[in-house]
Amino acid sequence: MNEGEPKSPCISVCVLNTEDVCIGCYRSAAEITDWFMASAQEKRAIIQRARERMLADNPIRLS
């Protein structure tokens, strides 16, 4: 990982819900699979989408 490249949001709670979204990091199964080949910009976009999912699921958690 080079400087400026986002760290994986994985927290080692790897369980997919019925919508194929991890209940630990809120990435979709496709985003998890694509993570290692994604550019830094794509990783930031994945993290943003995961954050939006987390906020939608837990509005108090990150307000």
Domain boundaries, the chain: 9-63
Q: Is the pLDDT of residue 34 over 90?
A: yes
Q: 2 vs 7, 23, 45, CA distance in Å?
A: 10, 27, 17
Q: Is the pLDDT of residue 4 over 90?
A: no
Beta bridge partners of residue 16, listed in sequence order? 22
pLDDT averaged over every residue in the chain = 91
Q: What is the mean pLDDT of residues 44-51?
A: 97
pLDDT in the model for residue 32: 97
**Run of H or E including 51:** helix 40-57
Give the global pTM: 0.84
